[in-house]
Structure 1
Amino acid sequence: MEYPADVRLLRVPCSGRVNPQYVLKAYQDGCDGVLVCGCHPGDCHYSTGNYFAKRRMLIYKRLLEYLGLEPDRFIIRWISGSEAGKFRDTVIEVADRIRELGPLSNDLPNLLAEEIPHPIAAKFEWLATPMSGREDL
C-alpha cells in the first residue's frame, strides 16, 4: 500500500494501546499532525480497547486544543483491518488536510514540552496509565 512520503506509521496491536505520550512525542519530534485509527466500536479483538482509546483520545484532543493545537491536526478514525482502501484514503485525506494547514507553529512543540499546570495535569493524569486496572472507564 502506498502512502504520501511524509507519512510515518506506528503500528500497535490495538488502538487502546496508543499512549498519549506517543502523540505528544510525535509533535515534539516535528510532526505537523497525528491520525489515530482503530477498529470500529464493538469490533475490538481485545473487547473494549477501542472504547478505551475513544474516550482517552477525545479527552486528549480537548487538552491539545486547550494548549493551542488546531483540531484538524489530531484526528481519530475507526477503520476495520479489512478496510485497507478506506485506510489508505483516510491517510491521504488527513495528510492533505494537514499539508493545507501548513507547518505546526514552532512554539507549540516547546509548549508541549513544558510542564502542564498542576490542576490540568491532575485532571488528565490517568491518560498515561495502562489499560489494565482501569475498570472505571
Structure 2
Amino acid sequence: MTAALQPPLPSHPVLRLRLAPDGPPRSIDGAWWPRSYDLLAELPRLLAGLPREWGHVTNVTVNGATWAAGPGRIFVADQVVRLRRNVAASAPHTVVLLAPGRGRWDLLVVPPDTTEEAAEPLMAAAADAIGGGSPWAPDPIPPG
C-alpha cells in the first residue's frame, strides 16, 4: 500500500476576507472570517491583507463582549494600532477600521467556529451589499 503525499500546510493561514467592490457607500464593506477571537493573533493578518489604497489603519474597534481582552494598542508592521472595544448591541458582529485621511470600513465578522457552508453565503452577501442595505438579520449566524 502506498501513502498519498499531502501538500505541506501553509506557514501562514490564508486570510479569509471578502471585500465589496468600490462603489456607492454601504453599511458593510465586506466580511472577515478569523480563525479565533484572539485579536493579537488575528488582527495583524487582517491588516496585512487589506488593499494598499486603504492606507495605514490606525484605529480598530471590535465588540468587547466577543473578543478576548487585550491591550489598548498593538504594534503591527512597524505602526501603532489603537484597539477600542464597543459593546453596542447594534454591531455585535462587526469590526471597524479607520485610516486617517482615507476612510472607515466596517466588516462583518463571521465567528471563527462557523462552518464553511454557513460562512460562505454570509461573506458573499456582505461583499455584495449595495447602497447601505444590510444583507442579513441582526444575528448573522444561524442557530445550531
TM-score calculated relative to the size of structure 2? 0.30
**Which structure has greater helix proportion?**
1
Structure of higher CA gyration radius: 2
Q: TM-score, normalised by structure 1?
A: 0.31
